[in-house]
């Protein structure tokens, strides 16, 4: 599976953006945020990470990390 296929596959299951938003720029922003998180997860896996995508996103958004 190539990089684009892998990204699309992960994005299908873990997308943060909603399909029906009134403002188009919010949908674009959330899509770019999704792609950024997925790309960081792919890099994490290539560097030897062992977490699933869901656990990676939960740890990424966990407030305990940002309180240091």
- Average predicted confidence (pLDDT) for the chain: 80
Q: How confident is the model at residue 44 (pLDDT cuts 50, 70, 90)?
A: very high
Structure token pair of residue 63: 């407030």
Q: How many CA atoms lie within 13 A of 17 on its CB side?
A: 21
Model confidence over 11-43: pLDDT tens digits?
777 776 666 778 888 888 888 888 898 889 989
Report the percentage of the chain scoring pLDDT > 70.
Answer: 81
pTM of the model: 0.71
List the alpha helices (DSSP H) in the chain: 3-14, 24-46, 53-61, 63-66
């Amino acid at each position: 599976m190539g990089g684009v296929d892998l990204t699309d596959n992960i994005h299908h299951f873990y997308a943060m953006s909603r399909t029906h938003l009134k403002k188009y720029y919010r949908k674009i922003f959330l899509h770019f945020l999704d792609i950024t998180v997925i790309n960081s997860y792919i890099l994490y896996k290539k560097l030897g990470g062992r977490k699933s995508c869901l656990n990676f996103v939960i740890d990424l958004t966990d407030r305990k990390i940002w309180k240091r």
